Amino acid sequence: MEKYALVMRQTIDLADTCLEGMEHIHYRLRGGYFNETYVILGDVVEALHYMDKSFSLFGEELPSKAADPLKRFSKQVFKDLHHVIEAYEKGIAEDALDTIEFKLLPHYRKWKIELDKCFHSYVLN
């Protein structure tokens, strides 16, 4: 797993940046700036897919006790993200805001905690 330590560290850093992006989208949506958040949402989507892809490189090598919660939260985050994207495609800012505030952000934060726990011992070495 040491060979993946750099990828894990980069994934943790990207996860932090992604959270900042989601929080910024949430803040801007609350201020009524729906159209201005579309580009940032695209960046968040791209980052999430990159993190998912990097996890797939070594996820099977992680102990299931650590990887299973991460996989569970990952599925929920992508489900929430799908709802946000649908709201954007339909132009329904309120649905996007509600999904981000009450589903995506809470689930993502739980996912991030699991990611940090899962990768912690590998990136410290």
Confidence band of 48 (pLDDT split at 50, 70, 90): very high
pLDDT tens per residue, range 18-37: 999 999 999 999 999 999 99
Count how many domains the chain has.
Answer: 1
Distance set, CA 120 to CA 6, 16, 35, 43 (Å): 12, 14, 37, 25
CATH of the domain at 110: 1.20.120.330
Q: What is the pLDDT of residue 125?
A: 56
Which of 10, 83, 73 is CA-nearest to residue 47? 10
Q: Give the amino acid at 119.
A: F
User: Residues 6 or more apart from 9 whose CB is under 8 A from it?
Assistant: 119, 123
Q: What is the pLDDT of residue 104?
A: 98
Q: What is the pTM of this model?
A: 0.92
Alpha helices in the chain (DSSP H): 5-30, 38-58, 64-90, 93-99, 105-124
Confidence band of 64 (pLDDT split at 50, 70, 90): confident
Which of 11, 78, 21 is CA-nearest to residue 44? 21
pLDDT tens per residue, range 95-117: 999 999 999 999 999 999 999 98
Domain range for 55 is 2-124
